[in-house]
Structure 1
Amino acid sequence: MKITIKEELNSKTSKTKKKKYTYLQSCSAVDWSRGLFHRVLLRLPGILLRAGAPEMVSQTKLLNRSSLVLYYWRSYVPLYVRFVSSSCQLCLKLQPDPAAFACEAMASSEDEGSVEEKENAKKKPISAVATAWLIFYNIAMTAGWLVLAISMFRFYMDKGTHKGLYRSIQKTLKFFQTFALFELVHCALGIVRTSVLVTGVQVSSRIFMVWFITNSIKQIQNENGVLLFLVVWTVTEIIRYSYYTFNLLNHLPYFIKWARYNLFIVLYPAGVAGELLTIYAALPYVRKTAMYSLRLPNKYNVSFDYYYFLISVMCSYIPLFPQLYLHMLRQRRRVLHGEVIVEKDD
């Protein structure tokens, strides 16, 4: 607690000078009683000084505790010296020390840093080989989806329509989308700290759409839903794999980070809408041809209807989509706004 003594002189008469002391507190008081104790201790030496040393008061405009102690020593007043020095020492002990607070803050920050280091030490470190493989994998996937984007753009510029687009890019699409199965391997091996369940749902749903819907039912390849999820997938995967690549290289541009955690707000629902429209368009053909269905009687004594299976897949989007979407929103708040999100393990 810093206390300053402001002396106000009233010069009406030359013989007697009335002095008035006002005490200003520069920092917030910790306690009202402590402030009162400070005022009493410092006002008493001032009264004694007025009675014993008027010449010093007239020469100085601002008095502090050290000057009081120094004057008492020079005036040979041992009793006063002991009193003032002891009172000042007591005041110094009672007031908060900024240096001590700084040391405590540094110590607390060091403790926090040690906690973070302990948490990081508990995490499984990634080897150089795994990092090199992840960089290669993400660069390859970014390049693959860029090739898809360029092919789609060139096809539309040449033909002026999206009819026949899927047939022209299906080989590249099937290769790189199937290649995404390595992401499940990365999660299972602990190379990537991502939920196996979330990654499994995303990858399996896309592989299912590519191999068991659009590739199997050629009549729906020109549907608008196919075009919608192709555009959404391409933009999403270019941004996502670019984000992973630059993040591994420790040179992440902010616009990629921003696109990664903002564009999904629109792209994710649009992609789900495209997938649902595509499955809905496939239902009449599946029911007519009874593809991938197994009727009784058969040697396995098992019945399976692919038509109702597709309906159940469409219904599964109702509980799964909100969970995945909210998961991405939590990741967005954590990465962009620094919020600490505590999630239960699946």
Structure 2
Amino acid sequence: MSQSKSAKPKQEQGFLTKAYLFGYNASQVVGWSYILYQLANYYFIAGPEFRASITLWDYTKLAVIVFQNAAAVEIVNASLGLVKSNPVITTFQVLSRMMVVIGVVMATPTGKVSPGLPIALLAWAVTEIIRYGYYALNIVKLVPHIVVWLRYTTFIALYPIGVTGELLCFWWAQSYARTNKVWSTEMPNSLNATFSYFYLLWIVMLLYIPLFPQMYLHMFAQRKKILGGGSAASSSKDKSKKTH
């Protein structure tokens, strides 16, 4: 029985599935490239008069809302088995960023002006351009080694930078929530329930402590699997044997 199962060929993805995945990933590359351009334009190309007339969030919010929230599609893709991503890890990655965009930046005036916003957007944009580009090229079996290397190397710096930006956004938002009790419900009320947005923000921030190391170490494991094994290791062993 085990031999028959192992001998069974893997089912290839259909053309429509491949076309859908390629289109989704390619559109995300375009979207995040535009966001990266907006960041560069806001800080380095446009003059100080432009920055004085509009905030970074007002300038980038439409693209960020559309393309960051479109990442929710990844949860569906992973859950349906259309991609090999871990559904649990994918869900946390997507929802944590959606929480930053919807539950922090869009929900509070302080989140919109947090110094963490440009940091997070920069890390997200570079990460997503590489990641979605890797996925799109992988579908058509045309992935240059440099793209593979970037996919499994740049996270070493970009993940901590992105998390720092996200936590700074949370910190700026919680200060506002503490003094204004925004999005909170206190008793007595018709629902006979209480909810504190301020405590929710702190709960999410504290969840980064156990969850971020797991995600970070998972990426290192993937890096070792993709870049650190196989032919590279065997070739180095062969070279060492020849020298002895």
Output the TM-score relative to the length of structure 1: 0.62
1:139 aligns with 2:29: no
Instruction: Give distance in 1, aligned partners of 2:143 and 2:33.
Output: 19
1:247 aligns with 2:135: no
From 165, 171, 175, the counterpart of 1:280: 171
Share of identical aligned residues, percent? 35
Letter in 1 for 2:27: A
CA-to-aligned-CA distance 1:199-247 (integer Å, 9 cap, x gap): 0000001111001101111233222111110100010000101111111
Instruction: Give distance in 2, aligned partners of 1:232 and 1:275.
Output: 10
Gap regions ≥5 residues in structure 2 = 231-244
Instruction: Give distance in 1, aligned partners of 2:7 and 2:47.
Output: 56
1:146 shift after superposition: 0.7
Instruction: Give distance in 1, aligned partners of 2:61 and 2:185.
Output: 28
Higher helix share: 2
Instruction: Give distance in 2, aligned partners of 1:184 and 1:159.
Output: 40
1:312 aligns with 2:200: no
Instruction: Give distance in 1, aligned partners of 2:80 and 2:29.
Output: 22
Q: Residues 119, 140 of structure 1: CA spacing in aligned structure 2 closer, same or farther, 3 A cutoff?
A: farther
1:153 aligns with 2:40: yes
Counterpart for residue 290 of structure 1: 181
Larger Rg: 1
Output the TM-score relative to the length of structure 2: 0.86
Aligned residues: 223
Structure with bigger RCO (C-alpha 8 Å, 6+ apart): 2
From 173, 177, 189, the counterpart of 2:64: 173
Higher strand share: 1
1:120 shift after superposition: 7.0
Letter in 2 for 1:140: S
CA-to-aligned-CA distance 1:2-28 (integer Å, 9 cap, x gap): xxxxxxxxxxxxxxxxxxxxxxxxxxx
Q: Residues 128, 224 of structure 1: CA spacing in aligned structure 2 closer, same or farther, 3 A cutoff?
A: same
Counterpart for residue 20 of structure 1: none
Letter in 1 for 2:171: Y
1:165 shift after superposition: 1.4
Counterpart for residue 6 of structure 2: 118
Letter in 2 for 1:137: Y
